[in-house]
Chains A and B, each alone.
Chain A
Amino acid sequence: QSVLTQPPSASGTPGQRVTISCSGSNSNIGSNNVYWYQQLPGTAPKLLIYRTNQRPSGVPDRFSGSKSGTSASLAISGLRSEDEADYYCAAWDDTLSVLFGGGTKLTVL
C-alpha cells in the first residue's frame, strides 16, 4: 500500500479539464516538493512536473501542478487522446526515502 494516495482511475472527454489528486502527510508532501510522472504502456515513466509546479522543457502547458498542505494535484486541460496514460505522484519523505503514489489510470473517453 502506497503512502501517497491517488485515485486508481480518472476519465474525461477530449477538451475537458481533469484533475488527479495525491494525498500524503507532513513528512512528505507537507514539507517537500512534489513530482509527477506520466507512463505510457510499455515505456519508462517520464517526468511531467518537477518542484510541485514546474514543467520540464517540452511538456505542454496543458499540464500543471499545485500543492496545498499535505495534498497535491495534477491538472490536465484541453484533454487529448494521447494523454491516456498512468500518472504517478512522488515526493521525498523525511525518512530519507522517495515515496510514489499508487498511480492513476487516465482514460480519454
Chain B
Amino acid sequence: QVQLQQWGAGLLKPSETLSLTCSVYGGSFSGFYCSWIRQSPGKGLEWIGEINDSGTTNYNPSLKSRVTISLGSSKNQFSLKLRSVTAADTAVYYCARGSGSYLVYWGQGTLVTVSS
C-alpha cells in the first residue's frame, strides 16, 4: 500500500521561506508525478505544482514566481519551497502522488501558519 509521509516547519514569520518534504513509501515514484496542494482554513483546494521522477515540473501560474518543487536527496522524496510567505499562505499543505488532477495517494497534511 502506497503511503506518503510529509514533514516540515509549521510556524513561519512573514517573508520567510516555507519548506516541506514528502516521502513515498510502498510504491515507486518512477513513472508518476507528485504534487503539492494546499487548503486555506475553511477554504477549498489549491494546486501548487508537480514534479516527476526526471525533475520535470509544472506550477500554478499564480504561485510560480515564489515556488520551487524539487527532487529530494533520497529516492522517492520530493520537496516544496515557497518564498516570501505572508499570512495568505497559511494553510494545510498536502503532498500527493498521481498525474495532473489524478491524485490517488495523499499525505496526512501539514498545517503551516504564517504569523509575526
Residues of A within 8 A of B (CB): 2, 32-35, 37, 44-47, 50-51, 56, 88, 90-92, 95-103
CB distance from B52 to the nearest CB of A (A): 13
The interface of chain B, by Cβ under 8 A from chain A, is: 35, 37, 44-47, 50, 58-61, 94, 100-104, 106-109
Q: B99 — nearest CB in chain A belongs to which residue?
A: A92
| Interface-central residue, B45, B61, B103, by most chain A CB under 10 Å | B45
Separation of A101 and B94 alpha carbons in the complex (Å) = 17
**Which residues of chain B are within 8 angstroms of A88 by Cβ–Cβ distance?**
44-45
**Would you give the shortest CB distance from A85 to chain B, in whole angstroms?**
13
Q: Is the Cβ of B60 less than 8 Å from the Cβ of A100?
A: no
The answer to whether residues A91 and B44 also contact, given A44-B108, A97-B58 and a CB cut-off of 8 A, is no
A97 contacts B106, CB within 8 Å? no
Contact present for B106 and A44 (CB under 8 Å)? yes
